[in-house]
Structure 1
Amino acid sequence: MKKLLVALLALVSLAVVAAGCGGGDKKADNGADKKVTLKIGATAVPHAEILNQIKGTLAKEGVDLQIIEFSDYVKPNLALNDKELDANFFQHEPYLDTFVSERKMNLVSAGKVHIEPMGIYSKKIKSLNDIPEGAKIAIPNDPSNGGRALALLQSAKLLKLKDGV
């Protein structure tokens, strides 16, 4: 977790530096402290939680980190594309690549993020061995996470994918 926080802090710092490079018509402040506002969109758990961990550290560096929470994976990219956010933190690169390709957007990755662990969960079934033949299982409906879910189900021997899938 500590490596993740350090990497995220580096990413946010890089974004702050990049934001400071814009606006060439502004006068230099000759070292005077400036407060920078950085608006980052994130899903609540764990991304907003991670950002909240570094909010105090960034405040000491003059960065007002504003975390905008989203409950889905579409709106953060739309808000970023509409320049309502400076960055977002919630997705892996395959999801971003698919999203921008389908919507013809000009969004790029500023750095790698962790990939959430994926598991098999049930309120009723206590063991994978208890899953009946022909049972219905829900998986994510986006291509990158759907593929991860199918691979997970295959590793649990709940289905067999065609070779090369």
Structure 2
Amino acid sequence: MSTTVAQMLVETLHTIGVRQIFGVVGDALNPFTEAVRKDKRIEWIGVRHEEGAALAAAGQAKLTGKLAVCCGTTGPGANHLVAGLYEARKDHAPVLAISGGVPAASTTCRKTTRTCCFATSPPTPRPSLIRRRRCKWRTKPSRRLTTSAASRTSASRPT
């Protein structure tokens, strides 16, 4: 019997020290959750919402300092992970998010629930790397406005 990608992922997660996974079971994650169930070395902790999974993983990573894992179903479910992942990123907590995917050929209607998670959660750049650009619509304040505003504020101050 050949090893599936889901089984290799579970084996790799166990090797690097993951003992719990927070997530919501969904159709696109079924092979992965089945591999977790059969392996029995990693505990699946089911939550009611993907955001709860990401926040739980972020909390675990902050407390232990080890990699924590959260899972979300395909499409909007993966987008719900973003809030918890953002918090983990801000606190420098190591969190891995796993989301299932559905091949385009197996979707049954034209309205799919696929979204681009990378577009919704770009990495936060360091302030030293941000290049400031001037907006074309911004102009320098006129001298007359600055002078009149200063005279109004000085006139309204009690002496």
TM-score by length of 1: 0.42
Higher helix content, 1 or 2: 2
